[in-house]
């Protein structure tokens, strides 16, 4: 048996070796990360503080914001710290946490988006049965199943990936621990198990996408039969943002995990990874806030409340 080196850490791909560009990368990632944190936390706060928004759709939206916060927090902070400290290393356990967390949040994200499509379908196509089907207990069970699906799917990938011996190298051509890049480092032929798991994930994603598409075909068919123009606008204002978010997640993640893995660092690989790791968590609050009038009204109410409290505090202090 040939000698094999036990990998205790991995070296991530840096965006540049030039110090000024490393600082620029840190600043850009920090700005995007803070914007995603503020947007999702603001959305959670607005929905939580407004009793009018305590409905199944916004309950699932809170869960989606939590998923977005988790998915961007798994990968981006480590990349920022590496650029700031001029290092590339990540520990073996840190890499395991990244893979587990990323797949967990991606799986939960897709599951929640599928549940949200079902919620819109029941609300528009079966309004008389909505309160019976989408009761509080049912919503909690659906959200719990979405999170459980993410955890199980993540455990499958993490277990398959890190049960492999790594001996070719410890250099990952990505700014975080990405599974296709890790499989390249394996010196075992059993990586086919993980490839099968990735193929299963792709099929599962397409299955969820097909369910969402069928749901929205039924929804739009029903909406077009509504004689009220106001009914059309209300239905589209809640459905179109969800479709945009679904398309954004599946297109970016699909490109990342179906494209061939390059043997050398590629700007396209970095760009695609940034798109599916950072763009959905950053854009989701904006998309829902721009298209949903109820959230816009709740935001205005919250801003008025904050301005009024600041004015009262100024009067007291003066």
pLDDT along the chain (318 residues), means of 10: 64 82 91 93 88 87 93 92 89 92 91 90 88 91 93 88 80 85 74 68 80 86 74 68 77 70 69 81 80 74 73 62
What pLDDT score was predicted for residue 148?
93
Q: Pick the closest to residue 111 from 205, 218, 44 (CA basis).
A: 205
b or e along 144-172 (b: 16 or more beta carbons within 10 Å of the residue's beta carbon)?
Answer: eebbebbeebbebbbebbbebebbeebeb
Which residue segments constitute the domains of the chain, with CATH numbers given? 19-313 (1.20.1070.10)
Task: State whether the Cα torsion 237-209-213-279 is positive or negative.
Answer: positive
What pLDDT score was predicted for residue 1?
40
Residues β-bridged to residue 10 = 90
Q: Pick the closest to residue 280 from 48, 110, 47, 49 (CA basis).
A: 110
3-state secondary structure of 10: strand
Burial environment of residue 2 by CB neighbours within 10 A (0 to 12, 13 to 18, 19 or more): exposed
b or e along 104-119 (b: 16 or more beta carbons within 10 Å of the residue's beta carbon)?
Answer: bbbbbbbbbbbbbbbb
Q: Which helix (H) or strand (E) is 151 found in, with range?
A: helix 136-162
What pLDDT score was predicted for residue 301?
79
- 228 vs 220: CA distance, rounded Å: 14
- pTM, rounded to two decimals: 0.85
């Amino acid at each position: 048996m040939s000698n094999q080196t036990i990998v205790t850490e991995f070296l991530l791909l840096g965006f540049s070796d030039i110090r000024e560009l490393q600082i620029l990368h840190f600043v850009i990632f920090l700005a995007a990360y803070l914007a995603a944190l503020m947007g999702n936390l603001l959305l959670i706060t607005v929905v939580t503080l407004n009793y009018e928004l305590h409905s199944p759709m916004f309950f699932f939206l809170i869960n989606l914001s939590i998923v977005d916060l988790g998915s961007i927090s798994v990968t981006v902070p480590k990349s920022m710290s590496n650029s700031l400290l001029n290092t590339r290393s990540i520990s073996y356990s840190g890499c395991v946490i990244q893979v587990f967390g990323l797949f967990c949040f991606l799986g939960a994200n897709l599951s929640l988006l599928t549940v949200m499509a079902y919620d819109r379908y029941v609300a528009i196509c079966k309004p008389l049965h909505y309160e019976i089907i989408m009761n509080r207990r049912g919503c909690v069970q659906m959200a719990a199943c979405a999170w459980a699906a993410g955890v199980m799917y993540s455990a499958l990938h993490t277990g398959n990936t890190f049960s492999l011996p790594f001996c070719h190298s410890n250099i990952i051509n990505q700014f975080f621990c990405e599974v296709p890049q890790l499989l390249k480092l394996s010196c075992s032929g059993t990586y086919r198990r993980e490839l099968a798991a990735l193929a299963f994930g792709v099929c599962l994603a397409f299955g969820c996408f097909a369910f969402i598409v069928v749901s929205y075909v039924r929804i739009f068919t029903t909406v077009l039969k509504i004689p009220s123009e106001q009914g059309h606008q209300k239905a589209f204002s809640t459905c179109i943002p969800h479709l945009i978010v679904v398309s954004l997640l599946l297109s970016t993640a699909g490109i990342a995990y179906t494209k061939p893995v390059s043997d050398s660092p590629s700007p396209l690989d970095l760009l695609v990874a940034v798109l599916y790791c950072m763009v959905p968590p950053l854009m989701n609050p904006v998309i829902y806030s721009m298209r949903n009038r109820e959230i816009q009204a709740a935001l205005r109410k919250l801003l008025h409340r904050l301005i009024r409290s600041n004015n009262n505090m100024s009067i007291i202090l003066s």
